[in-house]
């Protein structure tokens, strides 16, 4: 299997699976903990790697249908109801 098709298959499977309750909050928490841990690393490469992992986790928490996107949808719906 080619690498691009394998990655595309993983993305499709991830998009089609149902969200776990609290999944994005857990991932955000892990990302924030990693972000706090970057200062404890002794080497610059360690800080960079931990910071990159933290950014990936925080970005993952913000993306998707169950994270910030869902919150934005709910807020937009509430604002629309208030304007009627």
Confidence at residue 51, expressed as pLDDT on a 0 to 100 scale: 94
Mean pLDDT by 10 residues, the chain (84 residues): 79 78 85 92 93 91 70 83 76
Confidence at residue 37, expressed as pLDDT on a 0 to 100 scale: 92
Confidence at residue 4, expressed as pLDDT on a 0 to 100 scale: 74
Q: Where are the alpha helices (DSSP H) in 1-84?
A: 3-16, 23-37, 44-62, 68-83
Confidence at residue 52, expressed as pLDDT on a 0 to 100 scale: 95
């Amino acid at each position: 299997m080619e690498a691009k098709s394998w990655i595309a298959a993983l993305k499709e499977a991830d998009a089609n699976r149902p969200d776990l309750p609290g999944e994005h909050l857990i991932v955000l928490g892990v990302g924030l903990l990693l972000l706090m841990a970057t200062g404890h690393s002794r080497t610059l490469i360690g800080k960079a790697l931990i910071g990159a992992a933290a950014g990936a986790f925080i970005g993952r928490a913000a993306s998707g249908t169950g994270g910030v996107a869902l919150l934005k949808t709910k807020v937009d719906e509430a604002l629309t109801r208030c304007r009627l």
